[in-house]
Each structure stands twice: as structure tokens, then as C-alpha cells.
Amino acid sequence: MTRVAVLGAGSWGTTFAKVLADGGADVTLWARRQELAEQITRSRRNSDYLPGITLPANLSADSDVAAVLDGVEQVFVSVPSQTLRENLAAIRHLIPDDSRVVSLMKGVEKGTRFRMSEVIEQELHIDPARVAVVSGPNLAMEIAKEQPTASVVSSTDPDTAAAVAVVATNPYLRSFVNNDVIGTEFGGVLKNLIAVAIGIVDGVGYGENTKASIITRGLVEMTDFAVAYGARPETLSGLAGLGDLIATCESSLSRNNTAGRLLGQGYSFSAVVRQMNQTAEGLASVAPVLELAAAKGVDMPIVSQVAEVLAGTLAPRDIAPHLTTDTDEPQGE
């Protein structure tokens, strides 16, 4: 039985711990708060994040991160992206030699503009061959309810991808593998930004034509951006790109979509942040993504307008007419 740790007992960390336990792994989940760790271990519940879900018996939780990491073969990390570096710095000395480290996160670090796998490699000083990322159309609550879902495990090392995918597969979740870490990670980051745009136009009251236009043109932006950074275009057409874009843009479970809807309904950025009690990664990733786009000369009209709505310089109702850069000349699709 593979012994694994999951760091972060929010909605995705807890759900993924259940996925791994239901796949037969011996799983310990690190929760920052001791009372939450006790609730998970004793009552098999994480009522704040996954109300109504009963967690499996082979999943326990602990607030002592040293105990959680002791002797594990794989470490899955699911904390807010902007806190990853500080979390890793505190536990670097506890990561077992030769263990594999897996990012479950979908964000880019502000300031450095690094992907989560890059932050892991730097902060833990480990070979990229030991690092993997998981992404795909993976709304936590649906998976916690054991609805059939597919995901992607990506690593530059095929053995790492395969070893993680075996552990992260169970009767309701199937993990595929690829070696395009850049495309897989950026797919998860960029779909959040398009989902914020979808939420905004939904909040304004626009209908399906507007949303389909944004999803379709959004996929073009995602692909142009990711390919400029070395991704394979087919990755963006796969589960970690189009798949996740559909799930996140269609679901009211999505925090990014929800944050956008509140903006579209007229709430200010600060009011939206106050109302969100879970992580909406897209809000923090807009700035570093646009900086990265500018560095490669990639045009991202939809993401740019999300940034303007967040800044309060563009009215939500005006986001949809600007599906390309402003020019009177017709542009190729």
C-alpha cells in the first residue's frame, strides 16, 4: 500500500485525499487547525468545505506536519498558490528523500510569475523528475460525490507520472498521463481567468451566445499563451485545457465563476474578496499572466478586460463587445 500525504485540508485537498484513499492508498491529510484534523479523523467529515460528504476510513488527518510527512512516498500539495512558497519553506527539511511531490494547484505566483511546479522545484531543491502536477475538469464537490471524472497527471519523468497516476485512480476518477507540464499547468491557470469572464457576463445577464463566444475565443488565448511558453497545443485541447474550461465555465460550483458573477452583478473587487471564503485563484493570477503574456507579445483581450473589470476601470457590461483587440480591421478567427 502506497503511503501518501496531502497538504491542505480545504475543498480540493480533502477531496483528493478521499480520491487517493478510495484508490487504496494509506493517506494522511495535513490540516492547519487541530480541531479540523480531529473532526476529519473522528467524524469522517470536513463540514466547512465538503458538507454532507463522508470520508473513507483509511483517511486520517493531523495538524502535525512532521508526522504527516514521515515515511511517505508521495506528497500532494493543495494550498492557495500565493502561500505555496511559505508553506514549503517551513517543511523543506521534512520532505522524505526520493519522495515525489505533486502540485494540485492552479495558479501563478505573483511577483516571480512562476508556475507551482517551478516553486516546488526551487523551494524544495529537488529534481524536476520528482515533481508532477495534476489538472483537469475537477470540481471538488462533484468528485467528492464520486461522479465519474477524468484527470491528467503530468511530469517530465514518465515513471513519476505513471506512479502518481496509479495512486490517483479509483472507480470514479481516472488519471491519464502526459509529459507536457507547462501546458497542463497553464491550462489550469488560464481557464480560471476565462471562467471569471464568463461569471462576469453571466452576472450582467448576457446569454449563451456571449458565453460561447468567450469560451471559444478564450481557448484561443489560452493556447496562444501556453504555446508561446513551450506547451504543446494538443494539451490545451485536452482535459487540462478545454475539459477544465468547460467544467469551470459551466458550473456554479466554480469559485472563479462565482467571483466573476458577483463582479458582473456590480460588487467591487474588495467586496467579492470579502464574500469568498474559498480560494478563487484567478483573481490573483490575472496580473502575473498578463505580465507573462506581454513578455512574449501574446495578445489576451479577454484576460486584459477581466483585469480592467477587477480594477474598476471597465464596466462589466462592456466586457463582451471586446472579444478581440480593438481595431476596425476584421481579424482572422
Ligand X SMILES: O=P(O)(O)OC[C@H](O)CO
Ligand Y SMILES: NC(=O)c1ccc[n+]([C@@H]2O[C@H](COP(=O)([O-])OP(=O)(O)OC[C@H]3O[C@@H](n4cnc5c(N)ncnc54)[C@H](O)[C@@H]3O)[C@@H](O)[C@H]2O)c1
Answer for which of 7, 195, 197, 239 binds ligand X (CB under 6 A) is 195
- Nearest partner of 247 among 168, 330, 137, judged by Cα: 137
Of 110, 191, 211, 296, catalytic: 191
Min dist. Cβ of residue 328 to ligand Y (A): 38
In the block, residue with C-alpha cell 521534512? 94
Answer for which of 10, 137, 199, 264 binds ligand X (CB under 6 A) is 137
What are the distances in angstroms from CA 313 to CA 210, 304, 306? Answer: 21, 11, 10
Binds 247: which of ligand X, ligand Y, none (CB < 5-8 Å by kind): ligand X
The residue among 23 and 136 lying less far from ligand X, judged by its C-beta, is 136
Does residue 191 have an active-site annotation?
yes
Over the window 272 to 291, marking each residue x when it contacts ligand X by CB under 6 A and - when it does not, the resulting string is ---------x----------
Q: What share of the chain is helix, strand, coil (3-state, %, to 5)?
A: 55, 15, 35
- Nearest partner of 50 among 87, 3, 16, 21, judged by Cα: 16
Answer for which of 87, 117, 248, 304 binds ligand X (CB under 6 A) is 248
Instruction: Name the closest residue to ligand Y (Cβ).
Output: 10
49 binds ligand Y (CB under 6 A): yes
* CA atoms within 13 Å, Cβ hemisphere of 251: 18
Contact 178, 152 (CB under 8 A): yes
Positive/negative CA dihedral, 175, 176, 177, 182: negative
Catalytic residue numbers read: 191
- Residues near ligand X (CB under 6 A): 106, 137-139, 192, 195, 244, 247-248, 254-257, 281
Give contact residues for ligand Y (rule: CB under 6 A).
8-13, 32, 49, 78-81, 83, 87, 104-107, 138-140, 278-279, 281
